Amino acid sequence: MSYRATLDFLLYDWLAADTLVARERFADHSRETFDSVLDTCERLARDKFAPFNRRADTEEPWFDGQKVHLPESSHAAAAAYAETGMLAAAQDYEVGGMQLPCVVQMAANSFFSKAGIGVGGAAMLTSGNANLLMVHGTRLQQEVFARNEFAGRFSGTMCLSEPQAGSSLSDITTRATPDGTDFERDPLGPRYRLRGNKMWISNGEHELTENIVHLVLAKIPGPDGRLIPGTRGISLFIVPKWLVDTQGQLTGERNDVALAGLNHKLGYRGIPNTLLNFGEGRFPVRPESADGSTGAGAIGYLVGRPHEGLACMFHMMNEARIAVGLGATMLGYAGYEASLDYAKARPQGRPVGPGGKDPTAPQVPIIRHADVKRMLLAQKAYCEGALALELYCARLVDELRTGPAEGAADVALLLDVLTPVAKSWPSEWCLEANSLAIQVHGGYGYTRDFPVEQYWRDNRLNMIHEGTHGIQALDLLGRKVVMQGGRGLELVVARMRESADRARAVPALERHAAALDDAVRQLVAATRAAWATGVPDEALANATPYLQAFGHVAIAWMWLNVAIRSAALLDGATDADADARRGRLAACAYFFAYELPRIGAWLGVVASRDATCRTMQESWF
């Protein structure tokens, strides 16, 4: 099946995205308008992104001391993407948006991730940045910054980490001090001077757009001049690379934000990753300021209220986490497609017959070997299962935004619980899919003449950025499944059981229904056992195996839903569709036979609160 056919099935046959047009916000839309967006993105990804994916890797961004260079093809791709209007896909018409459902937006963006994750800039960062301002910014901040980001004139970043503070955001030391006595009267927002270093900033410096809008976490010192410990002291600022007036026009003043260096990465190289120095005086700006400053200090405008910056940033981070999961999924899918093509074309070996092999028979394409089919089925099960989860989460976002108000709290909670899984599971398993894609290619897969080694390198980032695997695990077991007395877990479990109930009515799926029920039972029991002593240390020592198990159960649940729908549609299908449905049923069977049983090993240590890791001593290593 083509990817598009798979996407259409998930989007329409399974998630019934076309029924969203009954809602007021999407009333101008139809299946046709959705399809037209998908068509455009599919075509653009094929023409402007895919051909340049390798180039984005080999022509790594470089800095000549003045500016960062990217291949011309990346400039062209970024411009073409901006022209589609996809940067504002989900926004209101009145700000230039398309009022697309989130699930359609994600589906449309998936083509670009698959074609070239690092080509054409990190559009997701620009959208996410602007979307955040539409929620937390002032009207003028929205007009000056967000609208220009949606239009593709400006791009956006998120500046959280510092060299000494990655996972531990509470330890950031970037300071923001009021800029002059009139600092509160700037129309763009309370004006501060920022000083500090930000690390791992994707798209932190480039020439793809006229301006770069940095969203920066920094601490406003207390009355004693000291930084407030913990996350309570964190505030959020807009720090543009070039200062702008209230019309959004560049004033020509370079803000004091300097590129300290580019990080040289293993993969994901099309997107420059930077260390930025804020306010070190490299670009003195407005030295005539009332405080008599030398012009050192990057000018930034407060977003939202002081000390509430992290909550605002999480608006962007949750969106980013689902986007990371989708990116990981599509990298996996790209490898699956490449290895499927290779396996159909490459002759090698012969099937084993009852009498062994007949060396005089011609070689067969490797797709006929059971072990190669296993590697392809695993990739299909990982990538399509992950895609189902990402789209399911996107569909929940639509439900939250446009669904009935009375269910909204539950939907929000469900989404909260699923977010760390949606981020982490594809990061781990679609990476494994990429490794299998290499393996299917044999020695050829290990060369740079085939695309699969790059997918594998690119994908390795996803378990690290936007909160590492370990951080997602603590979020899931330490917060999400216990908050509101465990209501989030209850909601997920109820939906899983409901799926199992429906599957029980389908003869081909009865066994899977029972397996999912049993898995859910194990998961719930392990959650309880982990917290049985109430000691966080003991519960959380095995948070990562818990996250892994939770993810596998969630994907089994997705596959069961997909299988229910596929089985229902199998009757009376045309041949090609029937094949696709049988393929989905086989992938579901693969997942239940080969994958779901893995949870036993993971949940075993969770349920017993195994102390091996927790009690290991440094000197014993």
User: Which 165-224 positions form the footprint of its own copies (CB under 8 A)?
Assistant: 165-168, 170-171, 199-200
Position among 230, 284, 287, 407 found at the interface with its own copies (CB under 8 A): 230
3-class secondary structure per residue, 207-221: CCCCEEEEEEEEECC
Kindly give the interhelix angle for 102-116 and 370-402, rounded to the nearest 10 degrees. Answer: 140
- Decide: helix, strand or coil at residue 431: helix
Q: Which is nearer to its own copies, 84 or 548 (CB)?
A: 548
Residue pointed to by tokens 């509101």 = 484
How many residues in the shown chain lie near its own copies by CB under 8 A?
A: 105
Q: Which is nearer to its own copies, 192 or 456 (CB)?
A: 456
Write out the H or E segment, with its range, that includes residue 341. Answer: helix 309-345
Q: Which is nearer to its own copies, 3 or 111 (CB)?
A: 3
Write out the H or E segment, with its range, that includes residue 380. Answer: helix 370-402
The two structure tokens encoding residue 15: 């998630």
The whole-angstrom separation of Cα 379 and Cα 333 is 8
Q: Which of residues 137-166 bind its own copies (CB under 8 A)?
A: 161, 164-166
8 A C-beta contact, residue 429 and residue 386:
yes
Kindly state the smallest distance separating residue 616's Cβ from its own copies, in Å: 5
Q: Which is nearer to its own copies, 103 or 580 (CB)?
A: 580
Position among 314, 442, 525, 528 found at the interface with its own copies (CB under 8 A): 442
Position among 447, 518, 528, 568 found at the interface with its own copies (CB under 8 A): 447
Residue 277 CA, distance from chain mean position: 26
Half-sphere exposure of 170 (CA within 13 A, CB side): 5
Q: Binding of its own copies at residue 350 (CB under 8 A)? A: yes
Q: Which is nearer to its own copies, 57 or 149 (CB)?
A: 57
The whole-angstrom separation of Cα 198 and Cα 182 is 27
Kindly state the smallest distance separating residue 264's Cβ from its own copies, in Å: 5
Q: Binding of its own copies at residue 117 (CB under 8 A)? A: no
Q: Which of residues 403-432 bind its own copies (CB under 8 A)?
A: none
The whole-angstrom separation of Cα 260 and Cα 273 is 11
The whole-angstrom separation of Cα 194 and Cα 174 is 7
Taking CB under 8 A as the binding criterion, the range among 37-45, 258-266, 326-334, 404-412 that sits at the site for its own copies is 258-266
Position among 351, 494, 505, 521 found at the interface with its own copies (CB under 8 A): 351
Position among 394, 473, 523, 562 found at the interface with its own copies (CB under 8 A): 473
Q: Which of residues 368-397 bind its own copies (CB under 8 A)?
A: 368-374, 376-377, 380
Pairs from 145-149 (Cβ < 8 Å, separation ≥ 24): 145/213, 145/238, 145/240, 145/244, 145/248, 146/95, 147/95, 147/96, 147/248, 148/211, 148/213, 148/248, 149/87, 149/213
Site pattern 61..100 for its own copies (x: CB under 8 A): ----------------------------------------
Q: Which is nearer to its own copies, 294 or 360 (CB)?
A: 360
Position among 46, 67, 264, 479 found at the interface with its own copies (CB under 8 A): 264
Residue 472: partners with Cβ closer than 8 Å, 6 or more residues away: 321, 420, 421, 423, 424, 547
For residue 189, the 8-state DSSP code is: S
- The terminus-to-terminus CA distance of the chain in angstroms comes to 49
Q: Which is nearer to its own copies, 399 or 595 (CB)?
A: 595
Q: Binding of its own copies at residue 227 (CB under 8 A)? A: no
Q: Which is nearer to its own copies, 305 or 614 (CB)?
A: 614
Q: Which is nearer to its own copies, 367 or 524 (CB)?
A: 367
Q: How many CB atoms are located within 10 Å of the residue 540 CB?
A: 19
- Decide: helix, strand or coil at residue 112: helix
The whole-angstrom separation of Cα 205 and Cα 194 is 18
Kindly state the smallest distance separating residue 61's Cβ from its own copies, in Å: 13
Q: Which is nearer to its own copies, 247 or 360 (CB)?
A: 360
Q: Which of residues 504-543 bind its own copies (CB under 8 A)?
A: 535-537, 540-543
Position among 47, 92, 207, 449 found at the interface with its own copies (CB under 8 A): 449
Kindly state the smallest distance separating residue 612's Cβ from its own copies, in Å: 5
The whole-angstrom separation of Cα 230 and Cα 171 is 7
Q: Which is nearer to its own copies, 305 or 374 (CB)?
A: 374
Q: Binding of its own copies at residue 609 (CB under 8 A)? A: no
The residue type found at 130 is A
Q: Which of residues 279-308 bind its own copies (CB under 8 A)?
A: none
Residue 167 CA, distance from chain mean position: 17
Q: Which is nearer to its own copies, 403 or 604 (CB)?
A: 604
8 A C-beta contact, residue 560 and residue 512:
yes
Q: How many CB atoms are located within 10 Å of the residue 306 CB?
A: 15
8 A C-beta contact, residue 459 and residue 331:
yes
Q: Which is nearer to its own copies, 103 or 381 (CB)?
A: 381
Position among 150, 456, 550, 559 found at the interface with its own copies (CB under 8 A): 456
Kindly state the smallest distance separating residue 494's Cβ from its own copies, in Å: 27
Q: Which of residues 302-341 bind its own copies (CB under 8 A)?
A: 340
Residue 571: partners with Cβ closer than 8 Å, 6 or more residues away: none
Q: Binding of its own copies at residue 356 (CB under 8 A)? A: yes
Q: Which of residues 563-602 bind its own copies (CB under 8 A)?
A: 579-580, 582-583, 586, 589-590, 593-595, 597-598, 600-601
